[in-house]
Structure 1
């Protein structure tokens, strides 16, 4: 022991004092977490200041607060407890009470700049065997082991009794808390090696990939590349799934994976179509839309238009929006907009053509590009992007998808360049292109080389990953998944750099990985 070390020995308390964490507490105190605190009559002291809450208060997040009414479910990103708690309160399920919300509406997360390195959380399905000599030959975050690429994350394969051959997926997944447990889940359609064979609809956990359910009942097989829709169609407070069956009908699946119904047949449609859910009459449960066909929430056919229905090679994919400002949404079936009157409950629900464009059928998008309060319709078909007047269907302008002579993916409409107005992105057979539209004229913002010479109708997605007001593009072609910045990096400089040339190269992408 050095001459600077001291050993104070045990604490000596006097009278009715008692030792607590190296200190002496008074007789009317308690020892709480190795420190002296006021005696709160059996309840633990609250917060860093070790306060005793009044009879009308509870300890919540380190403070004594006056709670509201009783409740049962905690608020989370996938739940809305507005019906349980008053404004300014949230439900704490452990306390069983509504408590004051502590969220700061002025708080904004600013992600670090120039740090964007996505890695898989998990993967699902059958993995392709890829030989390698080094890690660089493999996918991002894979490693080369014994001449083969190996994952460094959890990989899930379906069990032998869970349609194990149905591991391919090429349609759009849906993310939703299907089982109401505050964890977002993934709903997706799968098929075997033959994309034209029947499909199996699946739900897995979004955090682990663990199976929730699979619909392997042969009566409820799907069109293998159809795109599901999710919504509360029976008003039970929980989401259901609607997707095209293996024929010209829809199927509905309850949130626990139980089949609910098969719809009446529709007339128009091919493969890889997308269902939608919307309340077209403004009353009661929502309606279900597939192309130009409208169903009630039990699968009964209410209306089907006989003109455009939203297809060009594959489909249908239709849009729902209020085009004419009458507070009721229209269905845009590609080149045709359909309007509706009456209600389902009143047995007078009816549809009619609002307009029919001279442009051929295709895949739609809707936005107010010139900010005049009246939306325009974007139509992709035949290797071109068209802008139509949303109220009349008259063509305003069009622009070619570079390198494409036919088809084109469904348009993605978002603000790519951060100027506060929407832009359009879509993919053709050999180029992904982003264009601006000012309500009169299209202008190409940038293009990128891609490969989709098979279907030529692949879609893409957008998200502002870094919160800078410019949406990034997520696009997966036949060989690569890429995440593009909304504008070329050199175009973000002032003055623009030499790389601001309208050609988005792989050197400019934020992320690229092999399929």
Structure 2
């Protein structure tokens, strides 16, 4: 009979089966945990928990240790290897846990024990600086696009399925980079790997044979979504990238813009971007141009007619998924010569989406293909500005509908005029669905000797933990959180605990910043520690900072030089590791002068001029998990799925009515738990050759499991090595990476070949460099062959 062996892993079909996640990817608003059913399960037939072969009747049972082979114990009526005593799970080797009696027991014994449900991330301590996970500062010397390293666009994040493997989550970062130090403002589109910051795709640069047809606006913001319905329905499906094409040959910096969509072609040896269409009239096929190359806005994707196919909106224009302009081209907004972002939501709760603007709420007439001003919007004369949709309080009402309906309000940040002039002072206000102003307008906070500036696109969230929403915006010299409760008429249940009582009414806190170049930068929001109060992430000309929600204290800061546009730091799971990262873009900005280090956070490190972008993460990955997507500038979670499908309009959840989602430009925590934490374990699998005592080439195998509460992405490193029985130097045999995602309770088998010295013990270790946030790093080394071989029969 062939030699049989114990494996310390969960049995498939003997004791318990590894759990599988639900079929399909996570729906909109969920976290980054969805995978195909069965992903990460052990290979068929590799089975066995730690039990010996006892014939066809299955594994060896026992009444006491006397019934078990030498070197084994009897636990839960099963013979197991003697893995030692313990106080915690970290004391136990490989795929085992510390039982209540202080004995290390393999997972799967008893069958209900498949993971450690107590695994949870610790809360990050205030003042802990993030580390740079990776960064891109430009292509290699000699690359024809080497000068295209500056970025004014927000970095969009989505899994583009470049690996053609729906079972893996491998997001990419999409940005426009432009030529440094010129007045021609020449841009190109680049796509980067969210794990490594390596460039994956490019188009529209000086090395593009069709550069005039593919050139993009120098500061164009992108929207990512599935226009043709192939995501999820085909293994070769990819979302499309929609942005702004620059018409002309760059001799005029004011060249007009045209909507453009790029698709991804993976039919060749390497994936590439291909122009899908340019915006045009239908019928007639005439190009539709608008604005000019200095604009800094971009399109958004929503389903307006409930057919499950997205429309593309920019400046009130509506295009279908084939690039046809559906409505009459409205006059351009010309706001600051930079543009206004469109925002769409079902604000009146009639089951149909509306275009939400500073000057009205507009319904889409699917027959006439035109916007119709809703009759309940009765006011006029409001200043133009960027908007956000959020439930600020019970202010909005619509005649004929119950007063208790949870209608949202509209937050508007308006410049003093539509002309670009940083030496002016804009304002912030909240208006109802009828257009009545219920908060403000309040001048953007500034010192009396300095202008407030234009103001950036607003964010909204519960920053102080009182259950009410506050508003935030950047400007010339301060980042400010505005709070209706800091007025003479606070909201029911609202609170105002100003860290500085001298601040004017309506302001919770204000922190110095520097953005005198444009004063229009965006910001984003996230609850990094899962405590229910949100933090603000904002990058000015010098640093990207995270501010404490209630007080504005700087939690951390990192250098990020930029001349500033509408860019904002994006918060997402950019590398598929089920942890949150921040993507911050930069420009070389040689004319800038910044203090060094950050006076608000001296641990920031020295300030430097540098282009490109960086990905920042907590050094111990203690930030709560997030989604692997941020698909457009006006992002509000529920309108897009994790795999970049735009949600059918009748199925879109109202963001402000979902628990924890009454916010705007804020990402959601992962669906598996805000503070979920993985526990990677590993143990030698097939011991038949390892235990022979022979010096020979061996196909080594190990079973890798996730016994925590958060998934583990593919690519976890596994090493096999040897140590002499009496101790001594380690000898590396071989190493391999896991090829699949491991959900909690999942296992997979890995193999590699090594030259085994029969006189030394063989060991296996998972994630030896400690790159994965792990609940019990002490169990990342499996029991050695010297301990396991006595169990082989």
- Measure the CA separation in 1 of the matches of 2:336 and 2:302: 23
1:318 deviates by 1.7
Task: State the shift of 1:333 in Å.
Answer: 3.7
The residue that corresponds to 1:234 in the other structure is: 228
In 1, Cα distance between equivalents of 2:291 and 2:119: 49
**Aligned mates of 1:232, 1:105 — CA distance in 2:** 36
Matches of 2:602 and 2:386, distance apart in 1: 28
Residue equivalent to 2:658? none
* Correspondence for 1:459: 522
1:134 equivalent in structure 2: none
Alignment check: 8 A CA contact 1:125 1:168 kept: no
Residue 21 of structure 1 is matched in structure 2 by: none
The whole-number CA distance in structure 1 between the counterparts of 2:24 and 2:410 is 44
User: How do residues 160-179 of structure 1 correspond to structure 2 at under 5 angstroms?
Assistant: 160-161=142-143, 163-179=145-161
Give the 3-state SS of the residue equivalent to 2:304 in structure 1.
coil
Task: Please give the alpha-carbon distance, in whole angstroms, between the structure 1 residues aligned to 2:549 and 2:118.
Answer: 26
- Correspondence list, 1:210-249, <5 A: 210-216=198-204, 217=208, 218=211, 219-237=213-231, 238-246=238-246, 247-249=256-258
Check conservation: 1:311, 1:334, Cα contact below 8 A: no
Quick one: structure 1 residues 282 and 377, their matched pair in 2 at CA, closer, same or farther if it must change by over 3 Å? same
Is 1:431–1:448's contact at 8 Å kept on the other side of the alignment? yes
Measured in 2, the distance between the counterparts of 1:177 and 1:481 equals 25
Is 1:362 aligned with 2:371?
no
1:186 and 1:233, CA in 2 relative to 1: closer, same or farther beyond 3 A? same
**CA 1:309/1:332 → structure 2, altered by over 3 Å: closer, same or farther?**
farther
What is aligned with 1:199?
187
Cα offset for 1:165? Answer: 1.2
Partner of 1:409: 456
Q: Are residue 377 (structure 1) and residue 397 (structure 2) matched?
A: no
* Greater RCO, 1 or 2 (C-alpha within 8 Å, sep 6+): 2
Give the equivalent residue in structure 2 for 1:445.
508
| 1:266 CA displacement | 5.0
| Mapped partners of 2:261, 2:508: distance in 1 | 41
Aligned to 2:130: 118
User: What is the aligned length?
Assistant: 411
Worse-matched range after superposition: 255-264 or 302-311: 302-311
Aligned-residue offset at 1:245: 1.5
Give per-residue Cα distances to partners, 1:407-465, cap 9 Å, x unaligned: 11000112211222221111111111111236977721111111111111111122222
d(CA) in 1 for partners of 2:351 and 2:436?
A: 22
Unmatched 5+ stretches in structure 1: 1-27, 38-44, 127-156, 493-505
Is 2:39 aligned against 1:91? yes
Shift of 1:177: 1.2
Write the distance in 1 (CA, Å) between the matches of 2:465 and 2:229: 38
Return the alpha-carbon distance in structure 1 between the equivalents of residues 187 and 300 of structure 2: 19
TM-score by length of 2: 0.47
Relative distance call for 1:286 and 1:162 in structure 2 (3 A) is: farther
Deviation of 1:263 after TM superposition, in Å, equals: 0.7
CA distance in 2, matches of 1:301, 1:483: 40
Note closer, same or farther for the CA distance 1:512–1:427 as it changes in structure 2 (3 Å cut): farther
Structure 1 residues 10-21: aligned runs within 5 Å:
none
Kindly report the root-mean-square deviation, in angstroms, between the aligned alpha carbons of the 2 structures.
Answer: 3.8
SS of the residue corresponding to residue 64 of structure 1 reads coil
Q: Which has the higher strand share?
A: 1
Q: Per-residue displacement from partner, 1:71-110 (whole Å, max 9, x unpaired)? A: 99999975844xx64xxxx53477599xx9x788986533
With over 3 angstroms needed to count, the CA separation of the structure-2 counterparts of 1:437 and 1:489, relative to structure 1, is closer
CA distance in 2, matches of 1:458, 1:70: 39
Structure 1 residue 29: Cα displacement: 8.6
**Aligned position for 1:9:** none
Match of 2:431 in 1: 388
Distance of aligned partners of 1:67 and 1:364 in 2 relative to their CA distance in 1, 3 Å threshold: closer
Structure 2 spans left out of the alignment, 5+ residues: 46-111, 163-167, 232-237, 247-255, 265-271, 281-287, 395-403, 416-425, 491-504, 556-597, 609-793
Q: Which residue of 2 aligns with 1:47?
A: 9
Instruction: Say if 2:474 is the partner of 1:427.
Output: yes
Task: Say whether the 8 Å CA contact 2:136–2:197 is kept in structure 1.
Answer: yes
Q: TM-score with structure 1 length normalisation? A: 0.70
